[in-house]
Amino acid sequence: MNRDLLGRHRAVLPDWLALYYEDPLELTHGEGRHVWDAAGNKYLDFFGGILTTMTAHALPEVAKAVAEQAGRLLHSSTLYLNRPMVELAERVAQVSGIPDARVFFTTSGTEANDTALLLATTYRRSNTLLAMRNSYHGRSFSTVGITGNSGWSPTSLSPLQTLYVHGGVRTRGPYAHLDDRAFTDACVADLKDLLGHSRPPAALIAEPVQGVGGFTSPPDGLYAAFREVLRERGVLWISDEVQTGWGRTGDHFWGWQAHARSGPPDLVTFAKGIGNGMSIGGVIARAEIMNCLDAQSISTFGGTQVTMAAGLANLNHLLEHDLQGNARRVGGLLLERLRAVGAQSPYVREVRGRGLMIGIELTRPGTDEADPRAAAAVLEEARAGGLLLGKGGGHDTSTLRIAPPLSLTVAEAEEGAAVLERVLRNL
């Protein structure tokens, strides 16, 4: 491994810039669902979907679109008409499920959420926000102020007034023993209680499936019940689809559609996979909300031509090859197979997921205590076996996260599951 590069990394980059693995990886190339490191080792990538590779590594259509656009015009400003930006915005609006949709492009998920906060607080003239416990929404000054997961929320000095709502996780804590119905009722009562004691909030921001928080979903109906309470009080709904968008959850194109009883959200934020490695984020909102800002605005790098060309090629590939359907089919098989694997291991508390977004929560055998050491050990051993995984969880990282590129094949799913089976058996 490249000790020299690691030393240089540590000498010049922040200590808090997290690196996976005791012997960190330097990836040098990728193809399909595989990546290679600097020493020439090949890995099946079960985490690339979160690290932004939505469809496949080095997708030829994306590589071609980037090269052609970069060779023609490598420039960025929203002060001039930008054909690739208009074309991607049209496509995103078409698949958004939001009536009269307008799209604003940013360069990251953090910035997308920042923009959504700017819009919601301006539209509602309130700087009070509701967010979920255990949530993750980004790294900027304002988005750490709506991030409920303490492991990722270093400051309490945010200018926002944030109230954290129950409903994110219940594997431990006071609601752990409740069934779905009782849990939903308790969370709705908690929300009403918060609303009764605060200034009217501008919005509630929520991830349909908590990503960094360990791939946990609220019970069916919980977000819809929240929505009804909030709508009566004029509180907007922001769905953070940075991890759940673009068909990842299999049954739905957007995560919010699993909770859609009361209609689409007021604002949707997206990022990560849409650029297949190029930096694209964005916000979708009804025109009335998007246009509430009273000053002019540009975004120098939001919607840059080369990233928009990549996004368009990637989204077209996703739709033409029905990768959402693939996520449903292959994700369903993988979930079933991993549940069988999990049933054999005393460390596995739960295997859960939707589509190609699967979490394996580990606890110390015979207890209900999170086991971050076991999760770290599985990550190391899986890597030694040629499989890359992610990890996440509540306030401790004890959930293995699986989010491969959406083109994962059945044979690759089986190959990865076999590695995990071996690693968990030997733990």
Query: Least separation, in Å, of the C-beta of 232 and ligand PMP?
Result: 27
Nearer to ligand PMP, 92 or 424 (CB): 92
With residue 388 as reference, give the H or E element that holds it: strand 387-388
- Angstrom distance (rounded) from CA 201 to CA 129: 5
Helix (H) and strand (E) counts for the chain? 11, 15
Query: Least separation, in Å, of the C-beta of 285 and ligand PMP?
Result: 16
- Classify strands 42-45 and 387-388 as parallel, antiparallel or unpaired: parallel
Q: Where are the beta strands (DSSP E) in 83-193?
A: 101-106, 128-132, 161-165
Nearer to ligand PMP, 389 or 419 (CB): 389
Tell me the residue type at 409. T
- Angstrom distance (rounded) from CA 15 to CA 253: 37
- Angstrom distance (rounded) from CA 270 to CA 255: 11
Nearer to ligand PMP, 280 or 334 (CB): 280
Query: Least separation, in Å, of the C-beta of 166 and ligand PMP?
Result: 18
Query: Least separation, in Å, of the C-beta of 135 and ligand PMP?
Result: 8
Binding residues for ligand PMP, per CB under 6 A? 108-110, 113, 136-139, 207, 211-212, 240, 242-243, 271, 281
- Angstrom distance (rounded) from CA 156 to CA 13: 24
- Residue 416 three-state SS: helix
Nearer to ligand PMP, 273 or 342 (CB): 273
Neighbours of 268 (CB within 10 A): 28
Q: Which of 165, 168, 169, 139 is nearest to 16 (CA)?
A: 139
Query: Least separation, in Å, of the C-beta of 78 and ligand PMP?
Result: 19
What residue number has its CB nearest to ligand PMP?
A: 109
Query: Least separation, in Å, of the C-beta of 69 and ligand PMP?
Result: 21
Nearer to ligand PMP, 18 or 81 (CB): 18
Query: Least separation, in Å, of the C-beta of 212 and ligand PMP?
Result: 5
Nearer to ligand PMP, 65 or 280 (CB): 280
Nearer to ligand PMP, 269 or 363 (CB): 269
Q: Is 161 exposed, middle or buried (0-12, 13-18, 19+ CB in 10 A)?
A: middle
